[in-house]
Structure 1
């Protein structure tokens, strides 16, 4: 048996990580999802942590698609998914030269500016509802695909485009579920090509996967009962937490703090 499969410390880190990611996948906010890889990376290398979690994410996506079936915005998907495909391709081609720390720092700073702009508009009582914009959506879809491939951090760029649309919480969550289910499925191809899946990692994924549907359905149950007046302030609060977490991880990765 591989050492990690018999190491209690691995499960002390991995079990909470899967639960947090599952709650996020159910629609409960991206900050929890960002904790997944760093938690597992406390006991295994970051790349191995991402490889172990990806098959579990796929299972969560399947459960989320069932839980949120019928709720999705075709227009948003048509605008953002082509960009996401381009972003994944860019991430694959630049995997050897782009560091995860740079990606996390840049995405964190952009996301923090996005939150600050929303907060200023909120104080001024000038919160605007955005409309679909194809060039803007393609750009943020590309960023989401790239950051999802490199650092499993596709949520913040997606939110920069999707949150200002002020969709019904069910429509917002269902659309994000479809978007990231497709993105994660496509990521399997380059991850296989880069040799990220081996017997040890897949066995670890298989051991942890029973937690995936339970945590995902719990997240969906909570979000379905949230009113828009609660959902959107909560989501923007998650955006702030995510941005600070990404900046922290990026700075620590670059300067070794």
Structure 2
């Protein structure tokens, strides 16, 4: 088991619960968990450890929203996402922990900017097509491979294409379930799934389940605007910490 101080375990526990909630109630909200994981663990290790917990959350997202996916959208995104995943894999293979750590910080800040811009543009009509899908898909694939941070990018894409709420949640659930499974052999090839990482995830997985169940129960009651602001504020702190 990884030798961590109690405060570090507490942060990882909060991150695990946040992963579960983000999967069933707030797509893209896992940026807070990314910041917490990368603060406590080495950057590359945090990416691998989070991936397995995200897959646990994906199971609950699929149970809740699997019937609402729009498969033509997923197929349109697929080529660009694959290209982004390969670029992200090359970056992880070549970059050291320090570079990856700072890259995660930069990505998180970019994702916050994306989220705010998404809110501003949500009420405006945006064009969609092959070029838009290619841009969002490539960035989403890269960010999810390097830092599991593709959520806000893809959320913005689904809003940009005026995707109805239930279809948004269902398509997003299938998208990340498939992408996260595809990432496993890549990260395994880099030797990132060490025994202590698997044991740590085994301890944290029940908290993801709790978070997912909480998210399902409170999705329609939670004041999402306030929750979004809290997530963004805490993520800014985490991203700045990782940078400096």
- Structure 1 length normalisation: TM-score? 0.78
Q: 1:183-212, CA deviations, whole angstroms, 9 ceiling, x for partnerless residues?
A: 111111111011111111101111111222
Alignment counterpart, residue 175 of structure 1, candidates 171, 177, 183: 171
| Residue 26 (1) aligns with residue 24 (2) | yes
Partner of 1:53: 50
In 2, are the aligned partners of 1:56 and 1:209 still within 8 Å (CA)?
Answer: yes
What residue in structure 1 maps to residue 72 of structure 2? 75
**For the structure 1 residues 106 and 63, does the alpha-carbon distance in structure 2 shift closer, same or farther, using more than 3 Å as the test?**
closer
- Per-residue deviation at 1:180? 0.9
**Considering only aligned residues, what root-mean-square deviation do their CA atoms show, in Å?**
3.1
Query: Contact 1:100–1:250 (CA<8 Å) still a contact in 2?
Result: no
Contact 1:61 1:177 in 2 (8 A): yes
* Alpha-carbon distance in 2 for matches of 1:76, 1:94: 27
Out of 129, 144, 147, the position equivalent to 1:133 is: 129
Secondary structure in structure 2 of the residue aligned to 1:37? helix
Aligned to 1:218: 214
Give the deviation of 1:38 after TM superposition. 2.4
Counterpart of 1:155 in structure 2 is 151
**Structure 1 Cα separation of the partners of residues 125 and 106 of structure 2:** 28
Q: 2-side partners of 1:116 and 1:37: how far apart?
A: 20
Larger Rg: 1
After TM superposition, the structure 1 stretch with the greater mean CA deviation from structure 2, 144-153 or 37-46, is: 37-46
Which of 133, 141, 162 is the aligned partner of 1:166? 162
Equivalent pair of 1:30/1:239 in contact (CA under 8 Å): no
Q: Deviations over 1:29-87 (max 9, x none)?
A: 423x1121322344332322222222111111112111112011112211112211111
- 1:197 equivalent to 2:193? Answer yes
In structure 2, relative to structure 1, the CA distance for the partners of 1:165 and 1:238 (3 Å cut) is: farther
Change (3 A) 1:104 1:81: farther
CA–CA separation in structure 1 for the residues paired with 2:109 and 2:62: 28
Q: Deviations over 1:77-106 (max 9, x none)?
A: 111122111111111112224645346536
Q: Which runs of 5+ in 1 are unaligned?
A: none
Q: For the residues of structure 2 that align with 1:21 and 1:137, how far apart are their CA atoms?
A: 26
Number of residues paired by the alignment?
240
